[in-house]
């Protein structure tokens, strides 16, 4: 009797194990649980990539817009340059996770056999602070193709430390512990334009 009971017990366990292995109920739920995290990661990566590309385009647009507005002037003052930079920075909206820096530099290339590239005036915006940048008459550089004696250039540099939304919070605290290189992606562009309405664009109070 003992052996028969043991045999029946083993048979019962074996039968239950076979039924369990053959039962396909709940398989879809398990597969869903595995797939959902992957789908969510793909969704957020795709969303973040598209926002980063669009923001990078806007950073480039800042440089071209600011340079275009400055070179349309016959002369400027600090207040004009500050207002133009403010207009340029507003093109980043609705992105607001970090502030751009904008540097406008008037460059005079001297009329010499070996021309010098000198700063005529310079103005910058960093965050919400306006100030002078390079000192007047200091030496700077331009691309070789633009180094033409007795000419004037306006250079605009726009830069932004892009913060992905998955690493940003309103109080600047790191979210989700993501403090790697992805927490601050550098974006920037430099534009050179020549004056449109006069040989130079002087700044009387820079």
pLDDT(177) > 60: no
Smallest CA-to-CA distance from 78 within 37, 55, 59, 106 is with: 106
Interacting residues of 201 by C-beta distance below 8 A, sequence separation 6+: 70, 71, 73, 74, 75, 76, 106, 152, 154, 195
Q: Is 52 helix (H, G, I), strand (E, B) or coil?
A: helix
Please check whether residue 186 is in contact with residue 162, taking contact to mean a CB–CB distance below 8 angstroms. Answer: yes
Confidence class for position 2, pLDDT limits 50, 70, 90: very low
- Determine the pLDDT at residue 142: 95
- Tell me the mean pLDDT in the region 156-180: 68
Joined tokens for residue 201: 């664009």
Between 36 and 21, the more confident residue is 36
């Amino acid at each position: 009797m003992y052996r028969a009971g043991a045999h029946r017990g083993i048979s019962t366990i074996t039968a239950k194990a076979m039924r369990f292995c053959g039962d396909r109920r709940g398989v879809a739920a398990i597969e869903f649980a595995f797939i959902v995290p992957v789908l969510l990661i793909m969704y957020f990566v795709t969303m973040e990539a598209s926002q980063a590309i669009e923001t990078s385009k806007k950073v480039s647009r800042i440089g071209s817009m600011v340079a275009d507005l400055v070179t349309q002037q016959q002369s400027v003052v600090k207040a004009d340059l500050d207002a133009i930079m403010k207009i340029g920075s507003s093109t980043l909206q609705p992105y607001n996770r970090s502030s751009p820096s904008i540097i406008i530099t008037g460059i005079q290339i001297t009329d010499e056999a070996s021309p010098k590239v000198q700063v005529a005036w310079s103005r910058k915006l960093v965050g919400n602070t306006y100030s002078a940048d390079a000192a007047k008459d200091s030496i700077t550089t331009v691309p070789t193709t633009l180094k033409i004696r007795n000419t004037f250039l306006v250079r605009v540099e726009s830069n932004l430390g892009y913060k992905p939304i998955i690493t940003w919070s309103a109080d600047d605290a790191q979210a989700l512990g993501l403090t790697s290189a992805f927490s601050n992606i550098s974006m920037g562009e430099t534009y050179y334009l020549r004056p449109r309405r006069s040989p130079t664009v002087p700044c009387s109070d820079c």
